[in-house]
Amino acid sequence: MDNIISTENTNDRTKDIDITDTLGIVTLINNEDMTVALAVKKALPEIAQAVDIISGNFKHGGRLFYFGAGTSGRLGILDASECPPTFSTDPEMVQGVIAGGDIAIKTAVEGAEDSETLAQEDFIKKDIHQNDTVVCISASGNANYVIKILKLAKETGCRTISVSSNIDAGMKKFSDCFIFVDTGAEAVAGSTRMKAGTAQKMVLNMLTTASMIKIGKTYKNYMIDVKATNDKLKNRAVRIVSAIAECDANTAETVLGNNDYDVKSSILQIKYNIGPDEANRILKSCSGILRRVFEAANKQN
């Protein structure tokens, strides 16, 4: 028998979880969860390497693709789906693909993670190019689906990244960057939707958030490319414009309302008393990066 990977091991700390009272059960789970952030911390150098790959490709018009099966695939789809409202990205820019297709988001698809045929079909559908980045996610790192995806990506010449909780993951061989997060034995043996899944969510948050920061989707820690599609986000846009343009909320709200809640353009219109066309021209000349606009303005003064 092959060596059992750590996520499949039995956890001695939770061996009596089935005879523990309810508070005890959730306490045991919480104790295990508290180890995840420290495990992710150890992988920060590799996560940073991955961010540089992804953001570098973004700057050349590349896209980011997450591939995974089961929980890992669902987490990739979740992270991808949150980029358009958070950073006003085109839905094509970050995409999540799950083995077995959309039905697998809600229902387990038998054998999907073991299918190289499904991997090839999904890869071809996405028309992946050299400037794109492929990130494969798998707790064990040995699913045929993700390994086949990485092989195809390497053949295409695009950069590859993998996220796993298994140091000996098969994905490692085909990855330009291998992110290993040692989450160890789960509270319930083999239930990698728990600590391993939590670690994956944390890593994916970093990959997209840090990459978006590096291509100018924030100013300081403000979400300046937010897509204001509801009242909460419109209020956030008003607060952001008020803070950066140093104006009152009524002014910010009025200018935003006249500009389809375009935060960056509204900031420049208020701050420099210019019209929308001039604001957009300036932004374009600075690749849409607000800090560059301010730096250029400071040099002229």
Q: What is the mean pLDDT of residues 177-181?
A: 98
How far, in Å, CA of 249 to CA of 233, rounded? 14
Last residue of a domain, one of 214, 247, 276: 214
Give yes or no for residue 214 having a pLDDT over 50.
yes
The band of 1, judged by pLDDT with boundaries at 50, 70 and 90, is very low
| 113 a catalytic residue | yes
State whether 294 and 198 are in the same domain.
Answer: no
| Catalytic member of 113, 155, 253, 278 | 113
In whole angstroms, how large is the CA radius of gyration of the chain? 22
State whether 178 and 42 are in the same domain.
Answer: yes
Give yes or no for residue 12 having a pLDDT over 80.
yes
Q: Is residue 279, in this structure, part of any structural domain at all?
A: yes
Across 147-247, the runs of DSSP E, i.e. the strands, are 159-164, 177-180
Give yes or no for residue 248 having a pLDDT over 90.
yes
Q: Is residue 29, in this structure, part of any structural domain at all?
A: yes
Q: Is residue 168, in this structure, part of any structural domain at all?
A: yes
State whether 238 and 149 are in the same domain.
Answer: no
Last residue of a domain, one of 214, 243, 262: 214
pLDDT tens per residue across span 53-66:
999 999 999 999 99
Q: What is the mean pLDDT of residues 91-107?
A: 94
8 A C-beta contact, residue 113 and residue 99? yes
Element (H, E) at 198: helix 195-214
8 A C-beta contact, residue 165 and residue 6? yes
- Higher pLDDT among residues 29 and 3, named by residue: 29
The CATH code of the domain that includes 185 is 3.40.50.10490
Q: What is the mean pLDDT of residues 256-274?
A: 96
How far, in Å, CA of 39 to CA of 254, rounded? 47
The CATH code of the domain that includes 275 is 1.10.8.1080
State whether 112 and 252 are in the same domain.
Answer: no
Q: Which residues of 180-208 are buried (b: 16+ CB within 10 A; e: fewer)?
A: bbbbbbbbbebebbbbbbbbbbbbbebbb
Q: What is the mean pLDDT of residues 72-91?
A: 96
Q: What is the mean pLDDT of residues 75-101?
A: 96
| 46 a catalytic residue | no
pLDDT tens per residue across span 117-176:
999 999 999 999 999 999 999 999 999 999 999 999 999 999 999 999 999 999 999 999
Task: Estimate the share of the chain in helix, then strand, then coil, as percent rounded to the nearest 5.
Answer: 55, 10, 35
The band of 3, judged by pLDDT with boundaries at 50, 70 and 90, is low
State whether 131 and 198 are in the same domain.
Answer: yes
Count: domains in the chain: 2
How far, in Å, CA of 118 to CA of 122, rounded? 6
Per-residue confidence (pLDDT) for residue 110, from 0 to 100: 81
CB 295: neighbour CB atoms within 10 A? Answer: 11
8 A C-beta contact, residue 165 and residue 72? no
Q: What is the mean pLDDT of residues 250-255?
A: 97
State whether 250 and 150 are in the same domain.
Answer: no
In one letter, which amino acid is 238? V
State whether 66 and 146 are in the same domain.
Answer: yes
Six-digit token pair at 157?
């010449």
Percent of the chain whose predicted confidence (pLDDT) is above 70: 99
Last residue of a domain, one of 188, 214, 240: 214
State whether 235 and 208 are in the same domain.
Answer: no
Domain extent, residue 236, equals: 231-300
Nearest to 173 by CA among 152, 189, 192, 150: 150
| Catalytic member of 82, 186, 253, 295 | 82
Q: Is residue 219, in this structure, part of any structural domain at all?
A: no
State whether 237 and 89 are in the same domain.
Answer: no
8 A C-beta contact, residue 57 and residue 214? no
State whether 32 and 124 are in the same domain.
Answer: yes
Q: Is residue 98, in this structure, part of any structural domain at all?
A: yes
- CA-based max dimension of the chain: 72
State whether 155 and 254 are in the same domain.
Answer: no
DSSP state of 2: P
SS3 149: helix
User: Global pTM?
Assistant: 0.93
Across 90-170, the runs of DSSP E, i.e. the strands, are 94-98, 133-137, 159-164
Q: Is residue 220, in this structure, part of any structural domain at all?
A: no
8 A C-beta contact, residue 158 and residue 131? yes
Q: Is residue 293, in this structure, part of any structural domain at all?
A: yes
Q: What is the mean pLDDT of residues 30-56?
A: 98
Per-residue confidence (pLDDT) for residue 2, from 0 to 100: 53
pLDDT tens per residue across span 187-207:
999 999 999 999 999 999 999
Q: Is residue 162, in this structure, part of any structural domain at all?
A: yes
8 A C-beta contact, residue 149 and residue 137? no
State whether 11 and 148 are in the same domain.
Answer: yes
Q: What is the mean pLDDT of residues 262-268?
A: 96
